[in-house]
Structure 1
Amino acid sequence: MPFLARPKAPRKQRSFWKELPILIGIAVVLALVIKTFLLQAFSIPSDSMQNTLQRGDRVLVDKLTPWFGNKPERGEVVVFHDPGGWLGEAPRSEGFGARVQDVLSGIGLMPSAEDQDLIKRVIAVGGDTVECHKGGSVLVNGEAVDESDYLYPGNTPCDDRPFGPIEVPEGRLWVMGDHRQDSLDSRYHQNLAFQGTVSEDDVVGRAVVIAWPVSRWGTLPVPGSLDALAGQAAVGAPGAVALAGAVPLVLWRRRRAAAGQPAWTRGPVG
């Protein structure tokens, strides 16, 4: 009589609470990847980009396209590191709330409280000549730019700070705030090296969407007047995207365990 092996009892499924740390771990790893390579949240601390952006808005910045060699284009709203001398040293906040923010900002769920970053609109890129004279419009390569789509109501293009002509060096950008009379932008740093232009290497990425508050949710398109041709990345909060990616993985693992199959092995072969 042939020996019949007893079928193995199905592996006992772990409880949800035992799976929860795995879910959280996957979400954190995905959030770190997203923050490093895809999207990062930034908070707007001033009025320099009104009415496009309001103080306290949270924007998501596309960090992916620069990895494929794409460079900032005219009309894009970009976040960039302080080139040096644009910002004073920010005071270090203390306490439990500051430590929590440090942890959450580290994985991209909150903006950092200490990043020395700025947000402005790209007006001219490397190789352009840009200028603006009192009573006139901003000129890029001799052509007037129609800024009616984004210039703060009641502002003039540059009456408070005429400039130029300035030839923007290759690999650098001339940036200005939309609230022109309340923005310490390239115009105010012409005494520094490169006449107030910003290196493309200092650019963190392009702001593509206002993510918070919900009442102000919307994309940040490139004005047609600047003839910018730039793609927009898919938008989503890093933490939410990470969690959404982690949930299917854990559910798949639980189904395989319930079926008596090792959780992380490939299916049957042959």
Structure 2
Amino acid sequence: MEPVYRTLELIAASIHGVQGTRRTYTGLENIPAEGGAVIAVNHTGFTDFMPLGLALRQRRRRARFMVKSELMDIGIMRFLVKHCRAVPVDRSAGADAYRVAVDDLRSGELVGVYPEATISRSFELKEFKTGAARMALEAGVPVIPVIVWGAHRQWTKGATRRMGRHRIPIRVDVGEPIRFDADSDVHDATAAMHEVMAEQLHRVQDDYQDAPAGADWVPARLGGSAPTPEQALGLEDADAAEKAARRAAKRAKNLEKKQGKK
């Protein structure tokens, strides 16, 4: 029994109950009842982990999510990461996190991974990192492709926040397991994952009923006002430069303080 994880599941269910979200789960039978697997999920918003976690609960499974190591700087998040056995990832040195994730997979755990690494502002699939496929190959487990769609309407980058009772429909679609041969090239495996999940995402988007033209959460491809993938890449580059500048300023300030104490 994992009391903290269980409490978070109850909180997530309560939040969605208050918000009146209309969740639809498809393909839950593709989540293995036991044994390890990489849960590869698209990333469009800040809360898309909640409907995914609630979908896994339908199968009485839990995932060890790989999360940004920066969360460990926040006391409550450090507590939650530890007690939910999430895997913090330092993007500049992720070898330790990788080894923990592979060990978890080999011991029969589900490991949740966002192959895009960061939120897609265009709400289309970005380029994938190779980590998800690499872990699956080394641990000898399948990749379970998952598309979460609709949760980004609540809270994401560059769109209106709608965290109240808006009765937003949310789809969680679980695809068939993707299995790789042990000698598969990791880049080929990653490309295969991307192709499967892009088709899966487009199918879910096309089936989604509530997608008014011009809406800020609707992809440009479908007539929405979200940035195109090319425009989104430019915004992400600007964000990265701004974050780098803030980190540099913070380092300079800390160094100045240290020198002042001498």
TM-score, normalized by the shorter chain, greater than 0.5:
no
Give 1 or 2 for the bigger CA radius of gyration: 1
TM range (shorter): under 0.3
TM score, norm. by length of structure 1: 0.25
Q: Which has the higher strand share?
A: 1
